Amino acid sequence: MALEGQLDATVSSDATGSDTVALAFTVRNEGTETETLRFSDACKAEFVVQDEGREVWRYTDGRMFAQMLSADELDPDEETTYEAEWEEPQSGEFTVVAELQARETTCEARTELTV
């Protein structure tokens, strides 16, 4: 496996002043062969926000995902992006961790976030 991950976090405010954090986890095949990412449900990536190691938000908490087998194929130098949104985040400085939820495959990325 030659997967590389990159995580971007963007804070935006709406007209009422409410903040939202848009998370984009891009997984890129840096290898020379096609990689098949196999998933056991509709959740393809997990996003966790931490404050000095303490978890403050998790994308999958309170959510249900369809139980279905699926696969994404990434050719060499191809990438795919998985997205999530943290609505009404608390203020502070955080570390965001994204992890690919594919079976038999690992890829994660981290980024720092200030809200």
CB 50 within 8 A of CB 59: no
Residues of the chain with pLDDT under 70: 1
CB 31 within 8 A of CB 41: no
Q: What's the CA gap between 47 and 62, in Å, rounded?
A: 13
Q: What is the CATH number of domain 3-114?
A: 2.60.40.2360
Indicate the pTM of the whole model: 0.93
Q: What's the CA gap between 53 and 66, in Å, rounded?
A: 30
pLDDT digits (tens, 9 = 90+) for 20-53: 999 999 999 999 999 999 999 999 999 999 999 9
Encoded amino acid at 72, one letter: D
Please report, for the chain, the start and end positions of each structural domain, with discontinuous segments joined by +: 3-114
